[in-house]
């Protein structure tokens, strides 16, 4: 039978490991950026791990598009960047939470592309 001191040492050790893993995941997420571009590289979009738009560039070819065409292309490329960012985020968090944990399934539900019905 283990002593209370042994149990506390084991718990403290587990907490230290979890804190270290969480800190590493936090750093990776903070540094994570995803950039996507359309096939012709007319529009380039960068998002952070949370999907926030952090960069948007247009090539000179963008001048040849209508406003609606350019807007549609931005939304399309932004969606691609979000999907890729979601995959990165899920991969980072999987290392912390375990790929098949209940918490990971919640994250995956938010990071996978939504299908329109």
Asked, for residue 25, whether it belongs to a domain, the answer is: no
| 3-class SS of residue 79 | helix
Note the pTM of the prediction, 2 decimals.
0.73
**CA–CA gap between residue 86 and residue 107 (Å, rounded):** 9
Please write the tens of the pLDDT for every residue from 2-45. Answer: 898 999 999 999 888 888 888 888 888 888 899 999 999 999 99
Residues 6+ away with beta carbon under 8 Å from 104:
90, 93, 94, 97, 98
Asked, for residue 95, whether it belongs to a domain, the answer is: yes
Q: Which residue has the tokens 């998002």?
A: 47
Q: Which two tokens mark 12?
A: 């403290």
Per the structure, the count of domains in the chain is 1
Domain around 91 = 32-111
Asked, for residue 10, whether it belongs to a domain, the answer is: no
Asked, for residue 102, whether it belongs to a domain, the answer is: yes
Asked, for residue 55, whether it belongs to a domain, the answer is: yes
Q: Which two tokens mark 116?
A: 């329109």
The region, left, alpha or beta by phi > 0 then psi within -120 to 50, assigned to residue 89 is: alpha
- Domain harbouring 72, CATH code: 3.30.1310
Please write the tens of the pLDDT for every residue from 65-93. Answer: 999 999 999 999 999 999 999 888 888 88
């Amino acid at each position: 039978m283990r002593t209370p001191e042994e149990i506390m040492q084991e718990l403290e050790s587990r907490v230290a490991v979890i804190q270290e893993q969480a800190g590493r995941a936090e750093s990776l997420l903070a540094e994570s950026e995803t950039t996507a571009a359309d096939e012709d590289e007319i529009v380039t979009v960068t998002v952070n791990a949370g999907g926030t738009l952090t960069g948007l560039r247009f090539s000179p070819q963008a001048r040849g598009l209508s406003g609606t065409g350019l807007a549609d292309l931005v939304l399309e490329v932004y969606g691609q960047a979000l999907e890729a960012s979601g995959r990165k985020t899920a991969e980072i968090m999987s290392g912390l939470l375990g790929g098949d944990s209940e918490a990971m399934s919640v994250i995956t539900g938010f990071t996978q592309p939504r299908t329109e019905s």
